[in-house]
Amino acid sequence: MKVIKTISEMRQWSRKTKMRRQKIGFVPTMGYLHEGHLSLIREAHKHADQIVVSIYVNPTQFGPNEDFDRYPRDFEHDEHLCRNEGVDIVFYPHDEEMYGPFHKTYIITENLADVLCGKSRPTHFRGVTTIVGKLFNIVQPDIAVFGQKDAQQAIIIKRMVEDLNFPVQIEIAPIIREADGLAMSSRNKYLSPRHRKEATVLYRSLQLAKKEYANGNNDLESIKEKMRKLIESESSGKIDYIEAVDAQTLGTPNPATGEILIALAVYFGTTRLIDNIILAKRLNDKKTREPKRKN
């Protein structure tokens, strides 16, 4: 495994790899890797010959009072994990390499970036799309893998790739959870023991939504209210949002025509956690009922 820190060397490696007709799989991360990240690397191995993992805490996706300075970093740990997972290249650039002193260009996905997490983090997805676009141009991957835990991010990246004609195949890997259901996240490190225990209510609330929907409850507002009551009754968490949206467009959902994304964000102390679940499209019984077989 090799660690590359400059754009020029990263591009040179990618160019030589493509000349050998090998596919490049790419997993962009902000480091402090855990089993969730490793699952993305394993997914990338299924689709590509050479695997690149970027480790870069991107300043442009943090707001003024967010946790950029204290975001957990442990490159030695990350390097060890990447080596064990058979990663070929770790791209580990510094801010001066990624953003010049006169940087003024950003990528914005209209309508998708100002809902859900975008309401309370208005500049977040501008930073995400910009850094991912830059990384795609630098690494030149054939395939890139993102996690379903960051569902809004995944939808936005897929939209950006299609709209801007990036020659990259996007794969979305499932959420990896702890044994008690909490979605794995680098920010879980911030949780106090009490808040760590309380945070499991997020998964239980999503399972409640799944059960309600499976039992025929089409009233998404009532489902959201039941989730809210569960979270408030079993934790000290402060709810940022609980929303039900179309799983492709992030717009108004229609159970008869598309999948529904139930997404939430909740603060436990000063730590903001997100999670989600997709409810399958509800088929029309009359249209989908299998015809009786003739004897």
Known catalytic residues? 37
- Is residue 237 within 8 A of residue 200, CB to CB? The reply is no
The C-alpha atoms of residue 153 and residue 51 are separated, in whole angstroms, by: 21
Instruction: Identify the burial level of 235 via C-beta atoms within 10 angstroms of its C-beta, where 0-12 means exposed, 13-18 middle and 19 or more buried.
Output: buried
Contacts of 128 (CB under 8 A, 6+ apart): 58, 61, 153, 156, 157
